[in-house]
Amino acid sequence: MRLRLDLSYDGAGFHGWATQPDLRTVQGELTSALQKVLRVEEIQLTVAGRTDTGVHARGQVAHFDLAPAVLESVTGRSDVSPLASLVRRVNGVLEPDIRVRAIAMAAEGFDARFSAIWRRYCYRIADHAGCRDPLTRGFVLHWPRNLDEALMNDAAEALLGEHDFAAFCKRREGATTIRTLLDLEWERDQSGVLVGTVRADAFCHNMVRSLVGCLIAIGEGRKPVTWAAQILEARARDSAVGVVAAHGLTLEEVGYPDDLDLADQAKRSRVVRTLSR
Amino acid sequence: MRLRLDLSYDGAGFHGWATQPDLRTVQGELTSALQKVLRVEEIQLTVAGRTDTGVHARGQVAHFDLAPAVLESVTGRSDVSPLASLVRRVNGVLEPDIRVRAIAMAAEGFDARFSAIWRRYCYRIADHAGCRDPLTRGFVLHWPRNLDEALMNDAAEALLGEHDFAAFCKRREGATTIRTLLDLEWERDQSGVLVGTVRADAFCHNMVRSLVGCLIAIGEGRKPVTWAAQILEARARDSAVGVVAAHGLTLEEVGYPDDLDLADQAKRSRVVRTLSR
């Protein structure tokens, strides 16, 4: 049987998602907690979004497989299901900077990584004294200069759709940098914090933080609105594009198709894409 | 001249507002920062809400008096007013867990403490796994059992209005415990967190956290809805009423009358109230 986990974490205390020897990682902590509570020797977690060091998640999704007999051994209060007991016990073992929000039986064909059709991140910026809140400083970037979100939105429009985002990615050997950017929009929340919503089928390494770095330069007026499209067209990293701090970035939500399409989506995602235009 | 400060802080790192020898307090840090930036030997801060250890503030208000010549000596960028420069420079000296949001010339008769007509606090509780967000754990209480906000709101209604809140206060010699409770209402925010809004003309020591402790017992079903009114009527502290943790509590806003009424309100507030009924 396959179980789906929905989880949140404060990235400040982790060297990112992926297990690394001698470093505290989200995957490492969660794997240990599940192994301890379920009393099994090996749990293999697959995740939707492999977040970098310092990046947060509110809507992260992962899955793991388990023999059904193991779950039955998780006994809790008689009025609570084994899965609800498992959530409670795993959270009891985990430090408070990771919380498992829910564990559910996965639908047939579900794969946390390959069934996902989009990932939605938010990047938060407090660009003036009136909206810099010490209580949220762990997940909001305090930027010293005012930003014009109208300019940032104008520039962002040229980036939407399927493109080779090589200019905004840390290249990995043999991996494509073609992605479909579905949303990239800036809005102020009620406290005045500038919230950038970035949604794509998938992201390559550093992509959100480079996109935000580019748009900040435009929002400050240091670069013209057309600069974002120029960078994209060049398909090569430009040292003028800063990669903004990790702590402003949060993985908010992962989108999946209806249950019937899960397996098909997983098959499609495994095919390395080539630029279709 | 009198200056009004609007400020926010994360209470976790402070032994409350009021200066204490050898302890880090909000008043202590802010006074030092102002004295340093303004190069004066003594700044006397008066505050609207003297928060306890661990209690946060988003909408705290304070004032201090200054010779006009001192402010003129705060030179900054020529395109920025002296008060905006002062905000920038004070924030540059302060640690990131306090932020001055604004400094303005106070209206005639303004007193941050005595002109205030109400204080609004919020208490935040995550009472189920789905809404426990590690990113907000510094200002949201994680409560292990589900709460019924309808019961809590029913109970709260009986507490509204002017009463002797001695049952919910840590008594201080010679101080009245009569207060007017203007709002006490629970609502879930979009993430499912239970937010209690508590507004009164003023609060006595521990009052909000005792009111919340009482209502949690009712929301859990451990006590009947009528229990809150019984506690109030007894006018004596009851050990069955818990004082909940400080970190769930945030001073959100302080209300002042129109500028013309400021001095009158300050005069009225200085009169120790007696129970009018």
Rounded to whole angstroms, the Cα distance separating A219 from A127 reads 11
Q: Is pLDDT of B16 > 80?
A: yes
pLDDT for the residue A254: 97
For domain A2-105, give the fold.
Answer: Alpha-Beta Plaits (3.30.70)
For A12, name the nearest residue in chain B, comparing CA atoms only.
B135
Q: Of these residues, A52, A111, A183, A261, which one is catalytic?
A: A52
- How would DSSP label each residue in B108-145? TT--TTTS--EEEEEEEEE-SGGG--GGGTTTSEE-SS
pLDDT value for B276: 41
Which residues in chain A are contacts of B129 at CB distance < 8 A?
87-88, 91, 99-102
Q: Which residue of A has its CA nearest to B248?
A: A135
CA-to-CA distance for B229 and B216, rounded, in angstroms? 14
Q: Which residues contact B232 (CB under 8 A, 6 or more apart)?
A: B158, B159, B163, B165, B167, B168
Q: Does A8 touch chain B if contact means CB atoms closer than 8 Å?
A: yes
CATH of segment(s) A118-255? 3.30.70.660
A52 is a catalytic site residue:
yes
Tokens of A56: 């947060």
Asked if B102 has any chain A CB less than 8 Å from its own CB, the reply is yes
Q: Which residues of A touch B132 (CB under 8 A)?
A: 8, 91, 99, 101
User: pLDDT category, B268, cuts 50, 70, 90?
Assistant: confident
Q: How confident is the model at residue B277 (pLDDT cuts 50, 70, 90)?
A: very low
Which of A99, A100, A122, A124 would you mutate first to test chain B, the one with the most B CBs within 10 A? A99
Please state which of the ranges A65-74, A264-273, B175-184 shows the lowest mean pLDDT.
Answer: A264-273
Cα–Cα distance measured from residue A224 to residue B146, given in angstroms and rounded to the nearest whole number: 52
A133 touches chain B (CB under 8 A): yes
Q: pLDDT value at position A75?
A: 65
Tokens of A201: 């089928």
C-alpha to C-alpha distance for B35 and B38, rounded to whole angstroms? 5
Q: Residue A9 is nearest to which of B58, B134, B250, comparing CB atoms? A: B134
What is the percent of chain A where pLDDT is above 70? 96
Q: Per-residue pLDDT averaged across B178-185, rounded?
A: 96
Q: What is the pLDDT of residue A78?
A: 64
Length of chain A: 277
Residues of chain A with C-beta less than 8 angstroms from the C-beta of B9: 134
Q: What is the mean pLDDT of residues A222-232?
A: 97
CA distance A267 to chain B (A): 31
In Å, how far is A134's CA from the nearest CA of chain B? 5
How many beta-carbon contacts under 8 Å exist across A and B? 71
Interchain CB contact of B91 with A (< 8 Å): yes
Using alpha carbons only, give the angle B142, B145, B149 rounded to the nearest 5 degrees.
Answer: 90
Report strand pairing: B118-126 vs A194-200.
unpaired
Tell if the CB–CB gap between A97 and B142 is shorter than 8 Å.
no
User: What pLDDT is stored for residue A276 in this prediction?
Assistant: 41
Confidence tier at A225 by pLDDT (50, 70, 90)? very high
CA distances from A39 to A21, A71, A195, B45, B232 (A): 22, 10, 42, 58, 50
Cα gap B230→B5, rounded to integer Å = 40
pLDDT at A37: 95
- Alpha carbon A140 to its chain's center: 16
Q: Tell whether B9 is within 8 A of chain A (Cβ).
A: yes
For residue B11, the surrounding DSSP H or E stretch is none
Catalytic positions of B, written as ranges: 52
A56 in contact with chain B, both atoms CB, cutoff 8 A: yes
Q: Measured between CB atoms, which of A56, A137, A250 is closest to B96?
A: A137
CB contact under 8 A, A96 and B56: no
pLDDT digits (tens, 9 = 90+) for A241-265: 999 999 999 999 999 998 878 778 8
Residue A147 is predicted with a pLDDT of: 98
**Residue A107: what pLDDT?**
92
Name every chain B residue with its beta carbon within 8 A of the beta carbon of A138: 135, 138
Nearest residue of chain A to residue B92 (CA atoms): A144
Burial of A223 (0-12, 13-18, 19+ CB in 10 A): buried
Residue in chain B lying closest to A56 (CA)? B135
- Distance linking the first and last C-alpha atoms of chain B: 40
Q: Is A76 on the interface with B (CB under 8 A)?
A: no
Q: Do domains A2-105 and A118-255 have the same CATH topology?
A: yes
Task: List pLDDT tens digits, range A4-54.
Answer: 999 999 999 999 999 999 999 999 999 999 999 999 999 999 999 999 999
Residue B98: CA count within 13 A, CB half-sphere: 29
pLDDT digits (tens, 9 = 90+) for B73-97: 776 666 678 899 999 999 999 999 9
Question: What pLDDT sits at residue A227?
Answer: 97
- The closest CB to that of B135, out of A91, A138, A142, belongs to A138
Residue of A101, A120, A112, A12 lying closest to A56 (CA atoms): A12
Q: What is the mean pLDDT of residues B254-271?
A: 82
CA dihedral A139, A141, A142, A143 (to 10 degrees): -170
Write the CATH number of the domain with boundaries B118-258. Answer: 3.30.70.660
Using the beta-carbon criterion (under 8 Å), do A132 and B97 form an inter-chain contact?
Answer: no
Mean pLDDT of B199-208: 94
Q: Is B174 on the interface with A (CB under 8 A)?
A: no
User: For residue B103, what are its two tokens?
Assistant: 């400094």
Judge whether residue A153 has pLDDT over 90. Answer: yes
Task: Indicate whether B44 pLDDT > 80.
Answer: yes
**Out of A50-59, A77-86, A230-239, least confident range:** A77-86
Query: Contact, B221 vs B27, CB < 8 A?
Result: no
Could you tell me the CA-to-CA distances from A29 to A34, A70, A106 in Å, in that order? 9, 20, 22
Contacts of A13 in chain B (CB under 8 A): none
Task: Check CB contact under 8 Å for A138 and B138.
Answer: yes
Can you tell me the distance from the alpha carbon of A21 to that of A28, in angstroms, rounded to the nearest whole number? 9
Compute how many other C-beta atoms are within 10 angstroms of the C-beta atom of residue B77: 9
> Rounded to the nearest 10 degrees, what angle do helices B207-219 and B149-157 cross at?
130
Residue A277: pLDDT above 60? no
CB B56 within 8 Å of CB B11: yes
The pLDDT value given to residue B61: 98
Give the whole-angstrom CA distance, residue A91 versus residue A99.
6
Test the B interface: residue of A58, A81, A85, A135 with most B CBs within 10 Å: A135
Indicate yes or no: CB of A99 within 8 angstroms of CB of B129: yes
Strands of A36-140 (E only): list them.
46-47, 56-65, 98-105, 118-126
Closest to B212 measured CA to CA, from B277, B138, B128, B127: B127
A267, two tokens: 């098959």
CA A74 – CA A29 distance, rounded (Å):
20
User: A213: part of which helix (H) or strand (E)?
Assistant: helix A207-219
| Residues in B touching A139 (Cβ below 8 Å) | 135
B98 burial via Cβ count (<10 Å: 0-12, 13-18, 19+): buried
Which residues are registered as beta bridge partners of B200?
A: B119, B181
Query: What was the pLDDT predicted at A190?
Result: 92
Q: Cβ separation of B10 and A130 shorter than 8 Å?
A: no
Nearest CA in chain A to B135: A10
Q: Is B135 on the interface with A (CB under 8 A)?
A: yes
In chain A, domain spans: 2-105, 118-255
ipTM field = 0.89
Residue in A101, A102, A134 closest to B96 by CB: A134
Which segment of A103-112, A203-212, B64-73, B161-170 scores lowest on mean pLDDT?
Answer: B64-73
Cα–Cα distance, B77 to B86 (Å, whole number): 11
Q: Given an 8 Å threshold on Cβ–Cβ distance, is B8 in contact with A250?
A: no
Q: Are A25 and A17 in contact (CB under 8 A)?
A: yes
What is the structure's pLDDT at A52?
94
Residues B166 and B177: their CA atoms lie apart, in Å, by 5
Q: What is the mean pLDDT of residues A266-274?
A: 69
Higher pLDDT, B238 or B111: B111
pLDDT of A56 strictly over 70: yes
